[in-house]
Amino acid sequence: MRTGARAQGGAALTAWSRAWLVALAALTGGAACGNAEVSGPGAQDPAVVVRFEEPARSDRAAAAFLREHEPVTQAAAAVTVLLTLDRPVPLVVRSCDGDGSSYDPESRRIDICYEEVSEARDLFARAGRQDTDDAVAAVLQETVFHETAHAVVDALGVRTAGREEDFADQFAALMLLRQGAAGERRLRAAADAWNLLAAAAENADGDAEDEHSPDRERAVSAFCHLYGSAPGRHQDLVRPDVLPLARARGCAEEWAAVRDTLLETLGPALREG
Ligand SMILES: [Zn+2]
């Protein structure tokens, strides 16, 4: 469980946090200057409002990465395009000092940890991946979508058909697949990360227990949904160590059913259709 937000240092705004407040104002329509990346139907009515806290010294590179690649703000903007909520969900990016990214139902706030950037980078680097930027950004987007799903379920007061954790993974898959070919690559990278985590846990003799499905199971489900969304494009996933053939056979039907259930559950909040 999360231990709750820590008090944040100094009241004075640094130049860095001022810059982000300007970006935030643009996101919420409060700034005169345009901000092309958040244009569209969400510009006036965000479902998720992002705030970046000043990072700990050890997280400065991660913060710079998020400024350059923008996976968090892009994911938040994508949620706004799909969903409208009575109250926007606050999302704070911060140095978490040991806690993981999470949604806190008491404060109704999403926390995304700078540390996740370096953790994902280490994971891919240890697996020998050379160019990790896109994969790291993909993991961050997937995390934002996953935690947003918890917030949306809470905000709508709906019950999910299955486990809420699985619903959150499925929502993340839906959001990524809505991005077309780039989103397909991102979902593949996020599933790769779970596979690598599962392998690392096996090597370390035991998985840390948490409320999510085991990492290998999450990876297979994500690969299944990716494959099921367009089997012709993802035949290479059907391998014993990625997506076993027996599971792959049902993935087109499984993804169609999962997507329908997701959209039905999200119905009250959907902007379209
Ligand atoms: Zn979760």
Q: Ligand 1 centre and the CA of 151: distance in Å?
A: 10
Average pLDDT, stretch 148-177? 95
* Widest CA span in the chain: 58
Q: Ligand 1 centre and the CA of 256: distance in Å?
A: 22
Determine the 3-state secondary structure of 27 from DSSP.
helix
Q: Ligand 1 centre and the CA of 64: distance in Å?
A: 26
pLDDT of res. 44: 57
Distances (CA, A) of 216 to 41, 125, 197, 213, 219: 37, 19, 8, 8, 5
Whether residue 67 has pLDDT greater than 70: yes
Q: Ligand 1 centre and the CA of 170: distance in Å?
A: 11
What pLDDT, in 10s, does the model give residues 84-124? 999 999 999 999 998 899 999 999 999 999 999 999 999 99
What pLDDT, in 10s, does the model give residues 125-136? 999 998 899 999
Q: Ligand 1 centre and the CA of 5: distance in Å?
A: 18
Q: Ligand 1 centre and the CA of 167: distance in Å?
A: 9
Q: Ligand 1 centre and the CA of 163: distance in Å?
A: 10
Q: Ligand 1 centre and the CA of 146: distance in Å?
A: 6
Q: Ligand 1 centre and the CA of 213: distance in Å?
A: 9
What pLDDT, in 10s, does the model give residues 54-66? 999 999 999 999 9
Q: Please give the share of the chain, as a percent, with pLDDT higher than 90.
A: 73
β-sheet bridge partners, residue 103: 110
For residue 158, the tally of other CB atoms under 10 A from its CB is 17
Determine the 3-state secondary structure of 233 from DSSP.
helix
Q: Ligand 1 centre and the CA of 12: distance in Å?
A: 34
Helix (H) or strand (E) holding 89: strand 89-94
Q: Ligand 1 centre and the CA of 85: distance in Å?
A: 20
Q: Ligand 1 centre and the CA of 113: distance in Å?
A: 14
Whether residue 22 has pLDDT greater than 60: no
Q: Ligand 1 centre and the CA of 144: distance in Å?
A: 10
Confidence band for 272, pLDDT divided at 50, 70 and 90: low
Structure tokens at 211: 């409320």
Q: Ligand 1 centre and the CA of 16: distance in Å?
A: 30
Please list, in sequence order, all residues whose beta carbon lies within 8 angstroms of the beta carbon of residue 72, skipping any fewer than 6 positions away: 50, 66, 91, 93, 112, 140, 141, 144
- Chain-centroid distance, C-alpha 9: 27
User: Residue for token digits 């978490």?
Assistant: 96
Average pLDDT, stretch 254-272? 93
Q: Ligand 1 centre and the CA of 15: distance in Å?
A: 33
Phi, psi (rounded to 5 degrees) for 202:
-65, -40
Q: Ligand 1 centre and the CA of 19: distance in Å?
A: 30
Confidence band for 202, pLDDT divided at 50, 70 and 90: confident
